[in-house]
Amino acid sequence: MNDRQAQLRRLPSVDSLLARSPTDELIAVYGRELVVQAIRTQLEGARQAILAAAPVDACESALLQGIESILRRRQKSTLRSVINATGVIIHTNLGRALLSESAQAAVGAAARAYNSLEFDLDTGKRGSRLAQASDILRDLTGAEDALVVNNNASALILILSALAKEREVIISRGQLVEIGGGFRIPAIMRESGARLVEVGTTNRTRISDYADALTDAAAMILRVHSSNFKQVGFVEQPALSELTALAGERGLLAIDDLGSGALIDTAQFGLEHEPTIQESIAAGFDLVCFSGDKLLGGPQAGIIAGKSAALSRLKRHPLARALRVDKLTYAALIATLEHYRRGEALDEIPVWRMISRSLDDIRRTAERWAGQVGGFVVSGESTVGGGSLPGAALPTALLAMESESPNGFLEALRRADPPVIARIAENRVLLDPRTVLPVQEADLLAALQSIV
């Protein structure tokens, strides 16, 4: 006991640690307040360990080391800007779509000043949070109405909870997908109280499979875009119009989870044709849902577009309030959608600017990089990512760096400020200019220079 008290007494005070010269350096980097907090945390940890008779190195240098690692961990856990040199355009781990400049400005403006989110400036009365976004979505997609929720996963939960609770939802076995992060269609169904009825086989589902499965308990036919994987070979799915016709005949709802939801035809860039929102609306689906931050190129959101009758049922459901989005999301989404309405999406929306960037332009950039930091240029492929267009690739030019230890090189790039994320293939570190913003080039080159 005495021994423990002696140990406790020997622990330095906060002030004495603050007075040490290594602490000055930490204060210069992290600021005094965070350093004081870290000292307190470290001393409290040591005190607890002594009281619990656990082994603890309470000498000053060990304490200072502990303090520094608390600060480093803390900094790591904050959201940092990174340079994406992977060539994956919609990179879910790196925050998916980047916002256009006017979407960024709209977010800033909405954050700074009060706004007309729920205020009708003509009448001076309470207005609808949705009106402006719905107007543009109607124009762009041909839908009768639209609703915006937190993300596409919540769009599906709302649709199933509001329209299929304790009823049957018919879905092809080939579409019972896991989107990622444990988000599985069958689990979503269970959570929302809908009963899943699987039809067809993994590779082939015909319209007669759907027709044969319909009972009085059926509420909807759900189609789910198989986003992140691709079936090739002996495969068959009914045409969109066959699904909507069958649903119409039997008085059921036809719902299309498009996942990415493109407004622009990807085929013009040599990619496969990603189903567009307009096509599904034109095929007669009651509701079509898709993400805001995949191919749309906007903020995280789930957008539900379609017929007024089904949408008004969704809007009345209590979950709609729980899943609603904030003003910053509306600001960014409206600004993004405006680019499509003005026909400038390819130039203004980063996702589309990266998709449509020419190979020549990318190659010139890669060659300029090689001229400055060494390495050489090789041909390769960029991918769209974000669960859209699986297996589809855009031809690109890459800066390839040779290294004794490619993994060590990659790690050094991640430790740069800002961190650079790249990839390795055939024992070389590869950097794809397609996803690197022009304003980031100087930092990227400085990071490479300091490593080689």
Ligand X SMILES: *Cc1c(COP(=O)(O)O)cnc(C)c1O
**Cβ distance to ligand X smaller for residue 124 or 182:** 182
> Between 168 and 257, whose beta carbon lies closer to ligand X?
257
- Region for residue 400 given its phi and psi (left: phi exceeds 0; alpha: psi -120 to 50; beta: otherwise): beta
Minimal distance in Å, beta carbon 301 to ligand X? 7
CB of 291 to ligand X, least distance (A): 3
Per CB under 6 A, the list member of 66, 385, 387, 433 interacting with ligand X is 387
Per-residue burial over 103-132, b if 16 or more Cβ lie within 10 Å, else e, is beebbeebeeeeeeeeeeeeeeeebebbeb
Contact 349, 294 (CB under 8 A): no
Least separation in angstroms between residue 227's CB and ligand X is 3
Shortest CB 99 distance to ligand X, Å: 16
CB of 286 vs ligand X, minimal distance in Å: 17
Mapped to the 3 state alphabet, what secondary structure does 162-182 carry? HHHCCCEEEEEHHHCCEEECC
- Interacting residue with ligand X among 86, 134, 152, 266 (CB under 6 A): 152
Write down the least CB distance from residue 322 to ligand X, Å: 15
Report d(CA 34, CA 29) in Å as an integer.
Answer: 10
Q: Indicate which single residue of 23, 244, 291, 382 sits in contact with ligand X (rule: CB under 6 A).
A: 291
Q: Is 302 in the site for ligand X (CB under 6 A)?
A: yes
Q: CB of 295: closest distance to ligand X in angstroms?
A: 10
Q: Which of residues 50-109 bind ligand X (CB under 6 A)?
A: none
Q: Using CB under 6 A as the criterion, what x/- string covers residues 217-256 for binding ligand X?
A: -------xx-x-----------------------------
Check binding of 257 to ligand X (CB under 6 A): yes
Stretch 175-204 residues interacting with ligand X (CB under 6 A): 179
**Residue 259 contacts ligand X per CB under 6 A:** yes
The alpha carbon of residue 318 and the mean position of all alpha carbons in its chain are separated, in whole angstroms, by: 26
CA distances for 273 relative to 266, 269, 290, 329, angstroms: 5, 9, 16, 28
In 3-state terms, what secondary structure has residue 197? strand
Question: Quick one: how far is CA 446 from the chain centroid?
Answer: 28
Q: Which of 290, 230, 280, 285 is nearest to 260 (CA)?
A: 290
Question: Does 153 help bind ligand X (rule: CB under 6 A)?
Answer: yes
Of residues 282, 170, 283, the one with CA closest to residue 220: 170
Q: Is the CB of residue 422 less than 8 Å from the CB of residue 408?
A: no
Q: Rule CB under 6 A: which residues touch ligand X?
A: 151-153, 179, 224-225, 227, 257, 259-260, 291, 302, 387
